[in-house]
A and B are shown apart, each in its own frame.
Chain A
Amino acid sequence: MSEEKVEGEIEENASGENMDYDKIFEEFPLPMTVKEEIKNELVKINASEDVARKVVKKCYEVYLRNLMEPGEAAGIVAAQSIGEPGTQMTMRTFHYAGVAEIDVTLGLPRLIEILDVRKNPSTPMMTIRLTEEYAQDRSKAREVANRIEATYVLDIADIATDIRRMRILVSPDEKAMERKGLTLEDLKKKIEKGLKNVEVEESDGKIVVQVTEPSYKVLMDTLDKLKKLVLAGIKEIRRVIIRKEEGEYVLYTEGSNLKKVMKVKGVDASRTITNNIYEIYEVLGIEAARNAIIQEAINTLEEQGLEVNVRHIMLVADVMTADGELRQIGRHGVAGEKQSILARAAFEMTVNNLLDAAVRGDVDKLKGITENIIVGQPIKLGTGDVELVLKMGKL
């Protein structure tokens, strides 16, 4: 809706001879992105109808000429286009991407991670954008950050054990408490809730945790639990960094939990992302996961200064997500679920695949590439896919 408005304004502002280019497009069914670009360019040069028509017509001709040819081995081209630059990528795992404070896996290891659909990537990270009221003010942003960042007892207090009286003393640091927006009361409640078999009491600004069972082991276990107790924020998110970007405050986190972060007040869920693709799949669904794969792969390749056409990456992402589930590229995913026995046997787990196929009485229909190479037949791709035959002498 708003887009149309903006466009209308431009046209009004432009000189009188400017006209509605949309009409011309009706004759030429170009893809949306191309249409938009032509339109923008035409507006820029303030083209007359004659010129505009010529441009669009020519664009359409070029577009038709640029189409993929039927029978083209799109998959192999895509695989090569992503695999080949892999040799030029660096192995160095850590470096910063945009935010100097957070380490992110990059280069070949990251690309492998994306295509493997790891459930736990080595460096999960989130980029959290805030709703309008929180995005402009640093202290407001800090407030959201406090709600997200995991706060442990040790972050805001000192812990001491009193073995003689079988208790643990928690002495909070007021400044730290204030920065985290916690009160003594909160702290007490959290500890009460998080620990079992203890009595929690407050005495002159300190919290005393008394173990009910007088055993040294229980005391030590309780201490460990207390240290791991999350007082505020989300467990997985170890660190939050606030940065100002394009006129708004943005939170970057080390660690990721999309589901919980999206529910936090002040977070603009529609503009918040994580680099954990599997999490996106679980929380937002397969279509979001597809976009995440594309985006992450593009970013990884671009950071390395490698130019790869999006269409290749799109195809890989589509294969991984085509049946509604996230499947990895490899043995436990796309390649392992191939219909053809011979293709699977030629990839990995040769013997097991053959044994299983025999028990099931499976039939290899020889429709794919590997199978036909194995039996020595022409493959059904490109020129091998043409079934038209010229009868000699009929010409």
Chain B
Amino acid sequence: MIPKRIAGIRFEVLSPQEIRRMSVAKIITPETYDDDGYPIEAGLMDPRLGVIDPGLRCKTCGGKAGECPGHFGHIELAAPVIHVGYAKLIAKLLNATCKECGRILLKDDRRDHYINMIEQKKRLGQDCEDVIKEVFRVTKGVKVCPHCGTEQTEIKFEKPTFFYEGEHKLTPKDVRERLEKIPDEDLPAFGMNPKAVRPEWMVLTVLPVPPVTVRPSIILETGQRSEDDLTHKLVDIIRINQRFMDNKEGGAPQLILEDLWELLQYHVTTYLDNEVSGIPPARHRSGRPLKTLAQRLKGKEGRFRGSLSGKRVNFSARTAISPDPNISINEVGVPKIVAEELTVPFHVTDKNIEEARELILRTEHPKANYVIRPDGRRIRVLDTNREELAEKLEPGMIIERQLMDGDVVLFNRQPSLHRMSIMAHYVRVLPYKTFRLNPAVCPPYNADFDGDEMNLHVPQSLEAQAEAKILMSVQEHILSPRFGGPIIGGIHDHISGLYLLTRGEKLFTRKEVMSIIKPIEVKELPKPKYVKDGVEYWTGKQIFSMILPDITIEFKAEICQGCEECKKEKCEYDAYVIIKNGELVSGTVDEKAVGAFKGIIIDEIMRKYGSERTRKFIDDMTHLAIRAIMYTGFSFGISDEDIPEEAIKQIHEVIAEAEKKVEELIKAYREGNLEPMPGRSIEETLEMKIMQVLGKARDQAGKIASRFLGMDNSAVIMAVSGARGSMLNLTQMAACIGQQSVRGERIKRGYTYTNRTLPHFKPGDLGAKARGFVKSSYKEGLSPVEYFFHAMGGREGLVDTAVRTSQSGYLQRRLINALQDLKVEYDGTVKEQTSGMLVQFRYGEDGVDPTKSFRGKAVDVKRIINEVLSSEGEQVREYE
């Protein structure tokens, strides 16, 4: 079955006849409901306009609430009014056409020239706006009509809807009469389509009244009816319209009529758009501006962005997330109460009818919630009708079965910045009330467990389920299309764990090995590395090798110190990783090997064995890491930043020296002995030099601290292996926080008239302390002055983040909007779909998918050469 498609949607302006033709009721009274609560005939809630109350039937189509789409009515305006949205165009038209004969102020051949130009541009899919602009510009300058010879007077337009001819004000009626005279043949020159619009239609004589379904009234708890903003506005219009008619018939003076006419214009204007500049917005009794037609469409929560582009769905759930390292990365733990509510359709055939019957008869978790009969009726399965429904079950019915283990669901965390923000997971129904996910999939979602919530959607159709499984599964997104490297991998404890396991030569007895590899499927143990006194010992590297597939690879680990000459396998830091035929020969496994974003091993397995094997590796790796870290134990506390007295003394010395140097610099500056750097003022030079000195002092303090902390310190292990934190964080905790900055400069704001940051200092003090240098460490604690400066710097960071999210969000929206219609065609070209414009002859110049590319390269030549060489039995070279 090929679904029908809408070929197109044409936009036109409604003519008065059209408005009357589609109307089912002429609305004349401003009243809505009578005293009994029934809608008044010919009122704004006329029953012919549709139904909103359940139980009633529509007087026009007979449909019930929900079935009847509603029908338009109309109001006959006592006098024409300008449509605000077109006021500017009307002004341009009036100035471009003759006041007498209505013809365009151009000779026919010139007009045809422009029309041809516009048509040609349209045919080519180009923007014809500039030609139209030129037409209006040229015609505005014409003083005498080339057709009838009448002299033209300029018409001044005053926002929002007023026109003046010299001093004389034009009424909408005058305007309409002039527009009527413009012939159809001239319209294309103004970019108007005579088939879609007549200029006089831009001056309203009849107002369509939207159906009640568009403006439903709500009944408050008190039983009172509260009308929609649109209804309020329409009431105003009808009221003034009536008064205008009465006055006109009664022969009221012209002045009063004009006032009323203007009032009617105001109401119609605000009915269409309540944010027009130049007039006060119409307000609700409470003082809130009314939300009228334009406001309904506009903006983020408007019809277009809020309701049409973004849709609400059923079969979804949302709750907090928490980690579960024991489930696979492509699984999600779903709380039982959620699983009992969400359903998957189960199509009953004669082959599975017994299974379906069983589901209906069940009273516990995987049971059927609803039975849908072929006529579309949904029946809830209850204790009372269970037996009956099971009996009446027949092929062709659909039952809605509760979510079970193995169902595929989509899992999402906002903000959905890239496609990895929605991935397909397999369900694992678990107790408690949070969604559970393997911490290795946190990076693509950018999730943590400090209270984050995530959404879950259940695809209903078989097609959707198939697509989810094949295209959206977590393992299909291990490689990021952004840079062609893994985005899923070990984080935090996974890295610390493997680091502890594989670093150096740790030995484990058989019992220990078995406890570590318990969650992993290992068929047989390798030969123990050592046998001492009859006891077998395996190394941590051997244990890690058990989860590796057959790969051969060499690279420098994260902990690499960047020595001038690499000693390779003899590296004293054990930082040179060699994996030969699936055996970790040397080196330590850390962030570079298995981490998210870096993970060279993950990348290699992905390319050699594909997504499923990689998924298994990541699962095994996380299991192994957690076991390993539990075996050694790993903790981190305040005492981990303890440094000996000696170190503290050294740090203080370094800082004192730096402060002295700063004083010297300031002295030199005061005496005028400071040589400015090229292109900088002396003040700037001083600042830069001071920053340099203080920055160096902090680095030195950090070095001293880390020397005393040693490599076995938990914080150091986390920092060097890339598990969490950096050496800088550590420095700030143990040694010295360093210079605080606002806008990249030392803190200089404060009491400007005395030129000091705080009253604790002398005016004009440029010293380290007075400009926000914090010499304490977090552990020592900050002095009040330091604390204040630290808060200043911290606040800047917060503001920065807040501003950045909104800015980058808008940038992303614009990018998506500009690029969303680009598609790679079967011939490898990239085309814009709406216009058919060719954007690239070959995607990315070589047609290579960035996801599959090797960190941007079309083909990983070195790897292939190594592969070929190793198959030839030759020496393998180092990986870069």
A→B interface (CB under 8 Å): 30-31, 33-34, 37-38, 41-42, 45, 47, 51, 54-55, 58-59, 62-63, 65-87, 89-92, 94-95, 100-102, 108, 111-112, 115, 239, 241, 307-312, 314-316, 318-319, 322-323, 329-330, 333-335, 337-343, 345-347, 350-352, 354-355, 357-370, 373-375, 377-378, 380-383, 385, 389
Task: Assign chain B's interface to a size class.
Answer: 35 or more
Complex Cα–Cα for A67 and B809 (A): 31
Closest to A337 in B: B127
Complex Cα–Cα for A58 and B808 (A): 42
For the complex, is B784 an interface residue (Cβ under 8 Å from A)? no
Q: Mark B72-86, 1 if CB is under 8 A from A, else 0.
A: 000000000000011
For the complex, is B793 an interface residue (Cβ under 8 Å from A)? no
Q: Give the residue among B127, B816, B838 with the most A Cβ atoms within 10 A.
A: B816
In the complex, what residues of A have CB within 8 A of residue B862's CB?
41
In the complex, what residues of B have CB within 8 A of residue A366's CB?
5-9
For the complex, is B319 an interface residue (Cβ under 8 Å from A)? no
Q: How far is the CB of B769 from chain A (nearest CB, A)?
A: 25
B residues 419-474 in Cβ contact with A at 8 Å: 419, 467, 471
Interchain CB contact under 8 A, A41 and B824: no
In the complex, what residues of A have CB within 8 A of residue B808's CB?
83, 86-87, 89, 108
Interchain CB contact under 8 A, B849 and A63: no
Question: CB < 8 Å: which of B273, B743, B822 contacts A351?
Answer: B273
For the complex, is B355 an interface residue (Cβ under 8 Å from A)? no
Interchain CB contact under 8 A, B823 and A68: no
Known: A82-B815, A362-B11. A68 touches B86 (CB 8 A): no
Given contacts A83-B815, A309-B482, A318-B839, 9 further A-B contacts (CB under 8 A): A68-B844, A69-B824, A84-B812, A95-B744, A309-B483, A338-B834, A346-B308, A358-B196, A373-B309
Question: CB < 8 Å: which of B196, B305, B833, B864 contacts A360?
Answer: B196
For the complex, is B56 an interface residue (Cβ under 8 Å from A)? no
20 A-B pairs with CB atoms under 8 Å apart are A51-B868, A58-B867, A58-B868, A69-B824, A72-B824, A79-B815, A79-B819, A87-B417, A101-B677, A308-B483, A310-B856, A311-B845, A323-B126, A352-B85, A354-B11, A359-B13, A360-B192, A361-B197, A367-B834, A389-B2
In the complex, what residues of A have CB within 8 A of residue B1's CB?
389
Interchain CB contact under 8 A, A74 and B823: yes
Q: How far is the CB of A352 from chain B (nearest CB, A)?
A: 8
Q: How far is the CB of A219 from chain B (nearest CB, A)?
A: 31
Interchain CB contact under 8 A, A364 and B812: no
Interchain CB contact under 8 A, B844 and A34: no
Spot the interface stretch: B45-53, B258-266, B799-807.
B799-807
Interchain CB contact under 8 A, A358 and B824: no
Q: How far is the CB of A88 from chain B (nearest CB, A)?
A: 9
In the complex, what residues of B have CB within 8 A of residue A79's CB?
812, 815-816, 818-820
In the complex, what residues of B have CB within 8 A of residue A47's CB?
865
Known: A75-B819, A89-B808. A81 touches B678 (CB 8 A): no
Closest to A59 in B: B859
For the complex, is B660 an interface residue (Cβ under 8 Å from A)? no
For the complex, is B520 an interface residue (Cβ under 8 Å from A)? no
Interchain CB contact under 8 A, A112 and B482: no
Complex Cα–Cα for A106 and B14 (A): 51
Q: Give the residue among A333, A343, A354, A359 with the most B Cβ atoms within 10 A.
A: A359
Known: A54-B868, A361-B197. A31 touches B833 (CB 8 A): no
For the complex, is B858 an interface residue (Cβ under 8 Å from A)? yes
Interchain CB contact under 8 A, B9 and A355: no
Interchain CB contact under 8 A, B484 and A309: yes
Q: Give the residue among B125, B195, B845, B855 with the most A Cβ atoms within 10 A.
A: B845
Q: How far is the CB of A382 from chain B (nearest CB, A)?
A: 8
In the complex, what residues of A have CB within 8 A of residue B805's CB?
87
Complex Cα–Cα for A67 and B858 (A): 9
Which 4 A-B pairs have CB atoms at the shortest separation, nearest pair first? A361-B196, A75-B822, A361-B193, A83-B812
Q: How far is the CB of B553 from chain A (nearest CB, A)?
A: 17
For the complex, is B345 an interface residue (Cβ under 8 Å from A)? no
Known: A69-B824, A79-B812. A380 touches B485 (CB 8 A): no
Interchain CB contact under 8 A, A381 and B846: no
For the complex, is B157 an interface residue (Cβ under 8 Å from A)? no
B residues 3-32 in Cβ contact with A at 8 Å: 3, 5-13
Interchain CB contact under 8 A, A359 and B196: yes
Question: CB < 8 Å: which of B294, B304, B821 contacts A368?
Answer: B821
For the complex, is B302 an interface residue (Cβ under 8 Å from A)? yes
Q: Mark B290-323, 1 if CB is under 8 A from A, else 0.
A: 0000100111001011001101000000000000
Question: CB < 8 Å: which of B11, B298, B815 contacts A358?
Answer: B11
Interchain CB contact under 8 A, A68 and B843: yes
In the complex, what residues of B have CB within 8 A of residue A310's CB?
844, 856
Closest to B484 in A: A309
Interchain CB contact under 8 A, A80 and B192: no
Interchain CB contact under 8 A, B834 and A359: no
For the complex, is B337 an interface residue (Cβ under 8 Å from A)? no
Closest to B294 in A: A351
Known: A38-B861, A55-B865, A66-B858. A316 touches B819 (CB 8 A): yes
Interchain CB contact under 8 A, B861 and A37: yes
Interchain CB contact under 8 A, B823 and A385: yes
Interchain CB contact under 8 A, A315 and B839: yes
Interchain CB contact under 8 A, B824 and A370: no
Complex Cα–Cα for A389 and B838 (A): 28
Question: CB < 8 Å: which of A74, A311, A351, A363 contacts B8?
Answer: A363
Q: How far is the CB of A84 from chain B (nearest CB, A)?
A: 4
Q: How far is the CB of A307 from chain B (nearest CB, A)?
A: 4
Closest to A338 in B: B834
For the complex, is B148 an interface residue (Cβ under 8 Å from A)? no
Complex Cα–Cα for A329 and B815 (A): 6
For the complex, is B679 an interface residue (Cβ under 8 Å from A)? yes
In the complex, what residues of A have CB within 8 A of residue B305's CB?
346
In the complex, what residues of B have CB within 8 A of residue A360's CB?
11, 191-193, 196
Interchain CB contact under 8 A, A74 and B86: no
Interchain CB contact under 8 A, A377 and B10: no
Q: Mark B479-499, 1 if CB is under 8 A from A, else 0.
A: 001111100000000000000
